[in-house]
Structure 1
Amino acid sequence: SRRDFTVNAMAIRLPQREFVDPFGGLEDLAAGVLRTPIAPEKSFDDDPLRMMRAARFAGQLGFDVEESAFAAMVAMADRIEIVSAERVHDELNKLMVSADPVRGLGVLVDSGLAARVIPEVPGMKEATDEHKRHKDVYSHSLTVLQQAIDLETGPDGAVPGPDLVLRLAALLHDIGKPATRKFEANGSVSFHHHELVGAKMAAKRMRALKYDKETIKAVSRLIELHLRFHGYGEGAWTDSAVRRYVTDAGPLLERLHRLTRADCTTRNKAKARKLSGAYDSLEERIDVLAAEEELAAIRPDLDGEQIMSILGIKPGRAVGGAYKFLMELRLDEGPLGEDAARERLLAWWGEHAGEFEGTRTYEN
């Protein structure tokens, strides 16, 4: 009776090997129903995390939450606040990597649990425009999540599913829209810089839920970059812009490819084909440049030791400034070779040495 749901309250009595099912768990299992063995109010009061587990099982198993259990979840949603962030985080992760997280998230949101655990998700409903001048941001985000899941690969692919980072980024990519929504004079709706605001909001929420630093960094970076591609569709990018796109994405590039493609939810088939074709073009250019220049490992033509030797300086701020200059040069113009890079570095130093007054040199 102290188990969470009847489908988990079955046993085999040993050594008789007698099936024990005092609460009708087998029947609920066959029906795909989540029902508590005792009154749901008592069960959820004993452990409020069971309410989140109901949402997780809905996504993981495709089960429905029994009516009285769901009513108790709605009435007792605030009780989840007494559960540690670590336990909530763990249950949320299990939901996100389940077979159907969209279904489970629907239970979280409709019950009011999401408003206590990850309020930015139901908060996206605040950006819904009653005059239909902009798409439903909440529904759009769930669609993007499902489309991102569909783009995950098998175990030997670039993004093996289930990929928690990609799924969290897809779910949260537009959470900055309510805070940045603006009704323009021409009747349109804008969300300027929502990707930057959303990245900060996601990082803040994930820190509150005790996510590790690497996961927070990866998810927030994907959110920050998810709109970058749209500049490509509006006009041809230079090789420099392509290099920067790859460099900024770093090890997240394959996930960014999938998030960007998943973010296209338009019903306009011509527009969807155009966006898909544009991204195909970008990926092809990335592949060509990668083959020519080893994009994944872009570095300046000169390293720190060479910079110090050429300029006659010791480690310090000036080396970092010179390295940054050479990196920008590499992104803008591609590989120069050491001789050409040396000439450009000396010319730069001639103009900027004064900015690093007090820099230690070998002569000093």
Structure 2
Amino acid sequence: MSGPNAPAVQDNAVVDLPTGFPLGSSPVAAELADRFHAAGHRLYLVGGSVRDALLGRLSGDLDFTTDARPPQILALLKGWADAIWDTGIAFGTVGAGKHGQTVEITTFRADSYDGVSRNPEVTFGDSIEGDLVRRDFTANAMAYDLVGRQLIDPTGGRRALRERVLDTPATPQESFSDDPLRMLRAARFASQLGFTVAPRVREAMAAMAGELGRITAERVQVELSKLLTGAHPRAGVELVVDAKLADVVLPELPAMKLEIDEHHQHKDVYTHSLTVLDQAIDLEEGPEPDLVLRLAALLHDIGKPATRRFEEGGGVSFHHHEVVGAKMVRKRLRALKYSKDITEDVAQLVYLHLRFHGYGGGEWTDSAVRRYVTDAEHLLPRLHKLVRADCTTRNRRKANALQRTYDDLERRIERIAAEEDLKRVRPDLDGNEIMRLLGLPPGPLVGRAWKFLKELRLDRGPLDHDEAVAELLAWARAEGVEPPAE
């Protein structure tokens, strides 16, 4: 890989370990290094493992590269590893587990790509430098010699880390032609690491965005998910949109960019959605990012462009955009091969995110509160966060009033839940008792009776047994079903 704009590659660019560099402290890495060295092979920690260690964020899984060929790697791992898997052996990669840690070892590569798919035509290399210069970004093009305890950095990766810049070892045009997924990976690293993208890389991304059409939906989805669950997802999303990648993989985002939000005239829908994403993240609880909440926050208003109407007098309306948006979310997330659970959860949050605005000054009946909780089901904690995050007005008095109103709704939910166990709202009679009382076999009519009793439960709260029986019998007679004589 070479070109007039490529970073200068330093021959034998070897530097001493920085003080406190943690990679040498891994017993698994040390054991592997000794094993490969004794067999006459070189073994290096490489890529993200080295990058993260230099950033002080060493992960549990380690990636290695070696001059040993795959059969030799397998032979060296046998008798040492607790588990071995060779699903990637066609690409030169062997995985192993030891002491609860996962490692991957890959033979030096000198890949070329076919220019149609993202699949490499695997060619094994003979030098660590040759392996490093074919990698995606200079920050990932470093290796650590475990025996010599030296860092090998032929393309200025440490400088890139210091400057927090993503650049490519080759020209970005060469790199992205080889593997277009690297464009999305740049946005993912912007999110995960907080790095900026070199101007030439950004220009190449915008010019070559269409090449992402060669990438499978599953691979795109993985990168988008990692982007959204990074530490700085807004930066990653903005890069995806500005560099035209979203036009290919998530076109609903740029479609929002010029649409004016009727509640927030100072912002368009796209900017508003980014702010909601930021605010939803601030409300997350626990150590792990919430992908479902973040997807819902980013996509909650994607139905607005399709529902925009200009009203007389200069107003703008987006009636039923939550209904349209939920359908759009399902279509897009299915196309991206998200799981059924994630797709349905995000769509339901989008569908419900406006429901609260009917609460007004607390006019909802207890029945309406029960329905809100029942419709949200397990998503209620996320819905609370999404609704609160959706308040982006600059009018502090209005914002505080909305938050106080939602506080009131949450208190009512807690009160009713304590009295009625809302998490388990069920009819006061179960299916077996419905069949016994009505003399019915299992079938659709029993389901309709069950649904009637559930609606009654939502409207009126818990009924005592005799009252529930009387209501069921009256419903059955109205439906033309004559209960058996006692």
TM over 0.5: yes
* C-alpha distance in 1 between matches for 2:141 and 2:257: 37
SS at match of 1:195: helix
Which residues of 2 match residues 70-81 of structure 1 at below 5 A?
A: 70-81=202-213
Q: 1:126 Cα shift?
A: 3.8
Aligned equivalent of 2:314: 187
Spell out the pairing of 1:68-147 with structure 2 (5 A cutoff): 68-128=200-260, 135-147=267-279
1: CA distance, partners of 2:381 / 2:220? 29
Kindly state the Cα deviation for residue 353 of structure 1 after the two structures are TM-superposed. 2.3
The equivalent position to 1:330 in structure 2, one of 454, 457, 461, is 457
SS of 1:353's equivalent in the other structure is coil
* Structure 1 counterpart of 2:396: 269
Cα distance in 2 for partners of 1:284, 1:12 equals: 56
Q: How far apart are the structure 2 equivalents of 1:332 and 1:13?
A: 70
> CA-to-partner distance for each residue in 1:24-59, whole Å, 9 max, x for gaps?
111111000001001110001111111001101111
Partner of 1:305: 432
The whole-number CA distance in structure 1 between the counterparts of 2:204 and 2:251 is 20
Q: TM-score normalised to the size of structure 1?
A: 0.94
C-alpha contact (below 8 Å) 1:233/1:275 kept by paired residues: no
Q: Is the 8 A contact 1:133 1:189 kept in 2?
A: no
Q: 1:4 aligns with which of 122, 136, 144?
A: 136
The residue aligned with 1:32 is: 164
Other structure's SS at 2:355 match: coil
* Contact 2:181 2:220 (C-alpha < 8 Å) held by counterparts: yes
Retained in 2: the 8 A contact 1:134–1:189? Answer: no
Deviations along 1:185-209, whole A, 9 cap, x unmatched? Answer: 1211000000000000011000100
Distance 1:15 1:271 in 2: 63
Question: For 1:362 and 1:41, how far apart are their aligned partners in 2?
Answer: 79
Q: Which residue of 2 aligns with 1:281?
A: 408
Distance in 1 separating the partners of 2:400 and 2:329: 30
Q: Which has the higher strand share?
A: 2
Match of 1:21 among 153, 178, 189: 153
Contact 1:56 1:98 in 2 (8 A): yes
User: CA shift at 1:135, angstroms?
Assistant: 3.6
The amino acid across from 1:299 in the alignment is: R
What is the rounded CA distance, in whole Å, between the counterparts of 1:28 and 1:346 in structure 2?
75
Bigger radius of gyration among the two? 2
Selected match of 1:55 from 167, 181, 187 = 187
Work out whether 1:173 is the aligned partner of 2:305: no
Matches within 5 A, 1:158-307: 161-307=288-434
Deviations 1:212-237 (A, max 9, x none): 10100000000000000000025511
Structure 2 counterpart SS, 1:233: coil
Q: Distance in 1 between matches of 2:390 and 2:193?
A: 26
Distance 2:265 2:231 in 1: 33
Matched residue SS, 1:125:
coil
Q: Which amino acid aligns with 2:353?
A: H
Structure 1 residue 106 displacement after superposition: 0.6
Contact 1:133 1:188 in 2 (8 A): no
Gaps of 5+ in 2: 1-132
Residue type of the partner of 1:82? R
Q: Which amino acid aligns with 1:7?
A: A
Tell me the amino acid that sits aligned with residue 199 of structure 1.
A
Q: Secondary structure in 1 aligned to 2:148?
A: coil
Q: Secondary structure at the match of 1:241?
A: helix
Distance 1:58 1:233 in 2: 41
Displacement of 1:118 in angstroms is 0.5
TM-score under structure 2 length normalisation: 0.70
Structure 1 segments, 4+ long, off by >3 Å, are 132-135
After superposition, the CA RMSD in angstroms is 1.7
Could you list the per-position Cα deviations for residues 58-81 of structure 1 after superposition, in whole angstroms to 9, with x for gaps in the alignment? 111110100111111111000011
**Letter aligned with residue 58 of structure 1:** A
Number of positions where the alignment pairs a residue of Structure 1 with one of Structure 2 = 352
Say whether the 8 Å CA contact 1:199–1:224 is kept in structure 2: yes
AA in 2 matched with 1:21: D
**C-alpha deviation, 1:277, in angstroms:** 0.6
> What residue identity is the alignment partner of 1:171?
L
CA distance in 2 between counterparts of 1:233 and 1:147 reads 23
Q: Secondary structure at the match of 2:480?
A: helix
Task: Report 1 or 2 for greater relative contact order, CA contacts < 8 Å, sequence distance ≥ 6.
Answer: 1
Residue in structure 2 matched with residue 158 of structure 1 by the alignment: none
Letter in 1 for 2:480: A
State the secondary structure of the residue aligned to 2:442: coil
Deviation at 1:316, TM superposition (A): 1.1
Aligned-pair distance for 1:318? Answer: 1.1
Q: Which has the higher helix share?
A: 1
Q: Is the 8 A contact 2:258 2:268 kept in 1?
A: no
Alpha-carbon distance in 1 for matches of 2:348, 2:451 = 21
Counterpart CA distance in 1 for 2:235 and 2:383 is 24
